[in-house]
Amino acid sequence: MISRLVLQSLSKDKLSVFLFHKVPLQCDPLVPFDVDMARFEHLLDHMSSRLQVLPLEEAVARLHAGRLPRRAACITFDDGYPDWLSGVAPALLRRNLHATFFITSGQFDGVPLWHERILAAVRRLPGPLLDLGIPSLPAQSIASLDDRRRQVQRLEQELKYLTLTRREQILQQLEALAGVKSTDVPVMSEPQLRDLHSQGFGIGAHTALHPILDYCSAEEAEREIGGARERLQAIVGASVTGFAYPNGRPYADFSRLHVDAVKRAGYRYAVTTHWGVADAGTSPFQIPRFTPWAERDWHVTYQLLRNLMTEPLQVPEVAE
């Protein structure tokens, strides 16, 4: 097939890294466009028949040593969800595929992911209006399911770019209005993390509380980056060498200061969310990633090929 030959030729010395998040068994009515398990398993079959899936840390090392096989690819997941253990992990094991999971460590200290807290609250808010009394968030309808979906999106957009303190204030206000507690939101447990690690999967850090690093003070960013590594290492009893920048867009979400902090914290590589593929000239601390989302196989292949031709964006780093 022509697409296989093109893939073989375009992928020389290039590393494709795929990014997924929650992968629910069935999509949440409030987030209907998530990749669900059936779609994910189909994507895995499609990708694994065309690509050579490697552990991410090994692939980054081989890329920079000039020993990367053609059609090399890695699979990654961000954030940390308890149902990974019953969903994506068995699906990967059945196909003998490696993946690396980048996890927020705050959930092991009782703080669920902020966007999971929004979902849990919006589901239970009494209608017909959501009115937090905040000028930047004027009252809007939550009368229909569509309205609630829009409010989830609006709150995620608004709360993403706030300081951790301000975000926490609004989340608590929202939870009080909905009559829910943050402790009711499912989080990963320490035994689940150890389980994932003991099955041979890679464990990487994704900060403690998932802030936008550019909106953190230097001390806060340092704590989020280094603290998450220490917390995860203490749980799994092994070295954690990879880091994923929250939200992950170079310039918009992190800067060279944070790349430096990641190096100082002892990580060996880091991943962004900018599309494209890494080559030997790409910094191991800014490996791009891409989420294939198409429904049809030919379209997924087209997305893979287009991503192979995309130059990753990188912030300049201080010379070693």
Are the CB atoms for 59 and 74 separated by under 8 Å?
Answer: yes
Strand partners, 75: 18
Nearer to Zn ion, 79 or 116 (CB): 79
Are the CB atoms for 88 and 20 separated by under 8 Å?
Answer: yes
Least CB distance from residue 75 to Zn ion, whole Å? 16
Nearer to Zn ion, 247 or 314 (CB): 247
Range in contact with Zn ion (rule: CB under 5 A) among 73-81, 167-175, 197-205, 276-284? 73-81
Range in contact with Zn ion (rule: CB under 5 A) among 45-53, 75-83, 92-100, 306-314? 75-83
Residues 6+ positions from 269 with CB-CB distance below 8 Å: 56, 57, 60, 241, 242, 243, 284, 285, 287
Least CB distance from residue 247 to Zn ion, whole Å? 7
Are the CB atoms for 152 and 31 separated by under 8 Å?
Answer: yes
Nearer to Zn ion, 78 or 253 (CB): 78
Nearer to Zn ion, 79 or 224 (CB): 79
Residues 6+ positions from 298 with CB-CB distance below 8 Å: 3
Least CB distance from residue 157 to Zn ion, whole Å? 15
Least CB distance from residue 206 to Zn ion, whole Å? 6
Are the CB atoms for 294 and 303 separated by under 8 Å?
Answer: yes
Contact between 224 and Zn ion by CB under 5 A: the answer reads: no
Least CB distance from residue 23 to Zn ion, whole Å? 14
Q: Total residues at the site for Zn ion (CB under 5 A)? A: 2
- Under rule CB under 5 A, which residues in 76-95 are in contact with Zn ion? 78-79
Are the CB atoms for 175 and 123 separated by under 8 Å?
Answer: no
Range in contact with Zn ion (rule: CB under 5 A) among 59-67, 72-80, 232-240, 304-312? 72-80
Alpha-carbon distance 117 to 113, whole Å?
7
Alpha-carbon distance 153 to 150, whole Å?
5
Nearer to Zn ion, 114 or 201 (CB): 114
Residue least distant from Zn ion (Cβ): 78
Alpha-carbon distance 244 to 193, whole Å?
17
Least CB distance from residue 278 to Zn ion, whole Å? 20
Residues 6+ positions from 55 with CB-CB distance below 8 Å: 74, 98, 100, 202
Least CB distance from residue 302 to Zn ion, whole Å? 26
| Residues at the site binding Zn ion, with contacts judged by CB under 5 A | 78-79
